[in-house]
Amino acid sequence: MYEKFIKRILDFCLALLLLVLFSPLILFVALLLKLTQKSVIFTQERPGLNEKIFKIYKFKTMSDERDEKGELLPDELRLKSFGKIIRTLSLDELLQLFNVLKGDMSFVGPRPLLCEYLSLYNEEQKLRHRVRPGITGWAQVNGRNDISWKRKFELDVYYVKNISFCLDVKILFLTAFKVLKRSGVNKQGCVTTEKFNGKN
């Protein structure tokens, strides 16, 4: 009952409430991004529930600077100081409230990853797509980007098999604590997560 009906109702109501409460902050961040790097919103296709593809929304934290060959500069050079602050505080995820409102995502669930990873999952890892992807999840409060892909998927599958109201509440509280501590945002020495190759 919770997984099929109640969770979606709670997601919709909470997303609507938070969008109203955070609208000044969302507008403030959007304005600063517009002034500092012109581009504001980052969109990308991601697989969701039952591997259905949707567009995820984020605040854009990296510039589109390119070298003389027209290729994008390394991530660490495109991530400016304001972008680092937004990412560290997880403010780049605020726009995903619209994804939750639309029903593409939930507040809690496995993070939506790149479409190119779909063919790399084993049968156990594919279970992560039995539920809506989340803004936060069990893997995010148990290491986030400081743990291996193998461990992340193990935690994602654990969540799918043990989904409950109490587990969701626990994850939300732990997420708030992690954000305040600013822990696990990136692996040491990296500004973005290394790509999954089916083995790591």
- The DSSP secondary-structure symbol of 6 reads I
CA-CA distance, 166 to 138, in Å (whole number)? Answer: 12
pTM: 0.86
Contact predicate 7/49, CB 8 Å: no
Query: What is the token pair recorded at 48?
Result: 């969701």
Q: Which residue has the tokens 């507008």?
A: 27
Q: Is 139 helix (H, G, I), strand (E, B) or coil?
A: coil
pLDDT, one tens digit per residue, over 23-52 is 999 999 999 888 887 788 999 999 999 999
Contact predicate 57/98, CB 8 Å: yes
Q: Is 4 helix (H, G, I), strand (E, B) or coil?
A: helix
Residue 188 has pLDDT above 70, yes or no: no
pLDDT, one tens digit per residue, over 124-153 is 999 999 999 999 999 999 987 788 999 999
pLDDT, one tens digit per residue, over 58-112 is 998 887 777 777 777 776 767 767 777 888 888 889 999 999 999 999 999 999 9
Query: What is the token pair recorded at 94?
Result: 């605020």
CA-CA distance, 135 to 124, in Å (whole number)? Answer: 22
Lowest mean pLDDT among 67-71, 98-102, 166-170, 179-183: 179-183
Under 8 Å CB-to-CB from 131, ≥6 apart: which residues?
Answer: 3, 49, 106, 109, 110, 159, 160, 163
